[in-house]
Amino acid sequence: MRTPRRTSAISRRAAVIAAGVALTTLATACAGPQGDGAGTANAGGKAGAPQQGGTLQVLNRKPQSDFDPARLYTSGGGNVPSLVFRTLTTRNREDGAAGTKVVPDLATDLGKPSKDATVWTYTLKEGLKYEDGTPITSADIKYGIERSFAAELSGGAPYLRDWLIGGADYQGPYKSGKGLDSIEVPDARTIVFKLNKPEGEFPYLATQTQTTPVPKAKDTGTKYEEHPLSSGPYKVVKNENDGERLLLERNPHWDAKTDEERKAYPDTIDVRSGLDASVINQRLSASAGPDAAAVTTDNNLGPAELAKIVGDKKLADRVGTGHFGYTDYLAFNPKVKPFDNPKVRQAVAYAVDRSSVVNAAGGSSLALPATTSLPPQKSFGYVKYDHFPAGESGNPAKAKELLKEAGYEKGLTITLAHSNAKGAENGPEIATALQDALKKSGITLELKGLEDNDYSDTVHSVKKSPGLFLASWGADWPSGGPFLAPIFDGRQIVKDGSNYNTAQLDDPAVNKEVDEINKLTDLSAAAARWGALDKKIGEQALTVPLFHPVYKRLFGKDVKNIVISDWTGVLDVSQVAVK
């Protein structure tokens, strides 16, 4: 789907940043707790209509580091960047499934594609200004994108490098002194993108922070993050210790008439990071003093904390449920015996006890059983299927039957690689639950734990990848494209780097269908095709979907207007009011 093939590695990194990794604090996300994809619209919060004023505190674990639009993902930082950085398009700031829609931001519409979707043209709204009152121009957006290609500003989404003509070889404006010819600005309000091949989902890509305008005259290179010029409702007045504390105040030149998405109720937003997970939840629970007007965008409630909250209605009313396109699964490497035999892979699929896996992941409030690769959300094109129905607790009889057909009548011993990080989605708790379940089917599962960094390096190496291991995937935007292509498109196989097509599937029919869907500018039609492709690939038993994690997060007692979209799965700070 995208070249160069390192895209998948960065996509995965973005998903991890957005969703987290520790199941003990539920630092992952997925479709809703009832599996309906619905969010928790305006959950709890102080009664009364939201008003402007006051200070909102954001209490987080991870610092909002590298606060430069060239280096960030739009989904990064729990929506904090979008308070300062506006982009060509953005997320629809509504709760649940409605929040998966892409809508205009700086642009007047979602872009006008050429007939073959290789050229996209955008027109900027009138009256757009920076925090210093100067006008925002299309040339600023072009320059903002070009600087994101500089090596010293790496870390952001790679799609523009992959999709734009000449992008793969472009090194940014600092060394070359040149711009990208594939981005044209015929006038101050028009910008044109010329692509290597059809990309019907370019409106989604235009939400990435790389399309934030940056005036060339104000660019300070790697120091720009200390005081980036705001195009959004808030400006940076303090950035301490690389985002450990980020203090935002109103941008006097932001005009709500040009921005239908951001409410910008508080006068000040104080983002404090580097906090312990339990401390964050204790402060939000107590809601004393300034903490009454506090939220978190990256810290979840664990099973024990949720158990206490269930009996306290006031606290329970202050828990928001979030959703993100994410799936945890067992991954096979068919290049390793005996997993080259489809019947062995099918046997494992039938042997899995998803109820025990869900319990290991924190219980049904924090994880939902999965039988599909795509998350159960309409925007992804989700099609319900279960090719190897194991029920809630596995189907040992069917698994044994398939093992016999594969030549393993007396059972089979295989190795499962997992991370040694306790509480992780790929950790020992999940591995042990699978070990106990597969034993009933005559499959002896030997566990091989690896330290976290070593684990990632091993399982995502074509040369070192084991035959069976725990994996997961999340999409950069709510569509089947950035979900399925990186893990199943044969052209995404990375032989000398981080490879996420772990099955090393290189099926011409799959690759062709990816290309055909990418031509579609009708996003609903594309979604239906992604769902059908997911179902077709699922027949090969290249993975065993296990569960979709769920967010559960507290917010302060004076916080109102809670909006959690299925795009990011985290509380949208652009909608929150504290008065």
pLDDT in tens, 140-176: 999 999 999 999 998 888 899 999 999 999 999 998 8
End-to-end Cα spacing for the chain: 47
- Which has the closest alpha carbon to 74: 172, 205, 203? 205
Find where tokens 């922070």 sit: 209
Indicate whether 9 pLDDT > 50. Answer: no
pLDDT at 134 (0 to 100): 98
For residue 484, which amino acid is it? Answer: L
Percent of the chain's residues with pLDDT above 90: 85
Predicted confidence band of residue 29 (pLDDT cuts 50, 70, 90): very low
pLDDT of res. 75: 52
CB atoms within 10 A of CB 116: 12
Query: CA 432, CA 419: separation in Å to the nearest integer?
Result: 12
The answer to whether residue 502 scores a pLDDT higher than 80 is yes
Token pair in block for residue 95 = 């709760």
Span 335-375, pLDDT tens digits: 999 999 999 999 999 999 999 999 999 999 999 999 999 99
Distance CA 531, CA 380 (A): 7
Give the pLDDT of residue 92: 96
For tokens 């280096």, what's the residue? Answer: 71
Contact 26, 301 (CB under 8 A): yes
Res. 48: pLDDT tops 80:
no
Residue 565: CB partners within 8 Å, gap ≥ 6? 39, 91, 92, 93, 94, 95, 96, 98, 99, 100, 323, 572
CB 326 within 8 A of CB 570: no
Q: Please choose, from the candidates 257, 224, 226, the residue with its C-alpha nearest in 3D space to the C-alpha of residue 239.
A: 226
Q: Cα 114 to the chain's mean position, in Å? A: 29
Residue 8: the pLDDT is 35
- Give 177's DSSP letter: -
Please, which pLDDT band fits residue 73 given cuts at 50, 70 and 90? confident
Which pLDDT tens digit goes with each residue over 185-224? Answer: 999 999 999 999 999 999 999 999 999 999 999 999 999 9
Contacts by 134-139 with C-beta closer than 8 Å and gap 24+? 134/215, 135/188, 136/106, 136/213, 136/231, 137/185, 137/188, 137/189, 137/213, 138/185, 138/187, 138/188, 138/189, 138/190, 138/191, 139/185, 139/188, 139/216
Q: What are phi and psi of 366, to 5 degrees?
A: -115, -5
- Give the number of other CB atoms < 10 A from CB of residue 409: 11
CB atoms within 10 A of CB 570: 28
Residue 493 · residue 9 · CB < 8 Å: no
Domains with residue ranges and CATH for the chain = 326-549 (3.10.105.10)
Instruction: Say whether pLDDT at 234 is over 60.
Output: yes
- Taking each helix axis from N to C end, the angle separating 523-538 and 508-518, rounded to the nearest 10 degrees, works out to 170
Phi-psi region of 542 (alpha: psi -120 to 50; beta: other; left: phi over 0): alpha
What are the residues whose beta carbons fall under 8 Å from the beta carbon of 177, sequence distance 6 or more? Answer: none
Hey, how many other C-beta atoms are within 10 angstroms of the C-beta on 310?
A: 11
Residue from 152, 149, 207, 158 nearest 11 by CA: 158
Distance CA 210, CA 159 (A): 10
Confidence of residue 46 (pLDDT cuts 50, 70, 90): low
Distances in whole angstroms, Cα of residue 231 to Cα of each of 108, 395, 536: 16, 56, 44
pLDDT of residue 176: 86
State the pLDDT at residue 33.
29
Q: Which residues 6+ apart lie within 8 Å of 566 measured at CB?
A: 31, 32, 37, 39, 96, 97, 99, 100, 323, 324, 325, 377, 379, 478
Mean pLDDT within 240-267: 97
Give the burial class of 509: count Cβ atoms within 10 A of its Cβ; 0-12 exposed, 13-18 middle, 19 or more buried: exposed
pLDDT beyond 70 at 280: yes
User: Residue 552 in 3-state DSSP?
Assistant: strand
| pLDDT confidence band for 323 (50 / 70 / 90) | confident
Q: What is the model's pLDDT at position 79?
A: 86
Q: Which two tokens stand for residue 7?
A: 């895209």
| Burial class of residue 172 (count of CB atoms within 10 Å of its CB; 0-12, 13-18, 19+) | buried
Q: Which two tokens stand for residue 77?
A: 């930082």
**pLDDT of 6 over the 60 cut:** no
pLDDT of residue 248: 98
> Could you tell me whether strands 102-104 and 89-91 are parallel, antiparallel, or unpaired per DSSP bridges?
antiparallel
Contact 215, 230 (CB under 8 A): no
Task: Give SS3 for 195.
Answer: strand
Mean pLDDT score of the chain = 90
The whole-number pLDDT of residue 36 equals 35
CA distance 248 to 282: 24
Q: Which of helix, strand or coil describes residue 47?
A: coil
Asked whether residue 282 carries a pLDDT value surpassing 60, the answer given is yes
C-alpha distances in angstroms, 117 versus 163, 365, 518, 525?
A: 12, 42, 9, 15
Pick from 73, 159, 78, 177: nearest CA to 120: 159
With H, G, I as helix, E, B as strand and everything else as coil, classify residue 551: strand
Write out the two tokens for 438: 């597969």
Number of other residues whose CB lies within 10 A of the CB of residue 249: 18
HEC assignment per residue over 95-150: CEHHHHCEEECCECCCCEECCCCCEEEEEECCCCECCCCCECCHHHHHHHHHHCCC
- CA gap 28, 424 in Å, rounded: 10
pTM assigned to the model: 0.90
Is the per-residue pLDDT at 11 higher than 60? no
pLDDT digits (tens, 9 = 90+) for 422-462: 888 899 999 999 999 999 999 999 999 999 889 999 999 99
Q: What is the per-residue pLDDT for 156?
A: 86
Indicate whether 78 pLDDT > 80: no
pLDDT of amino acid 198: 97
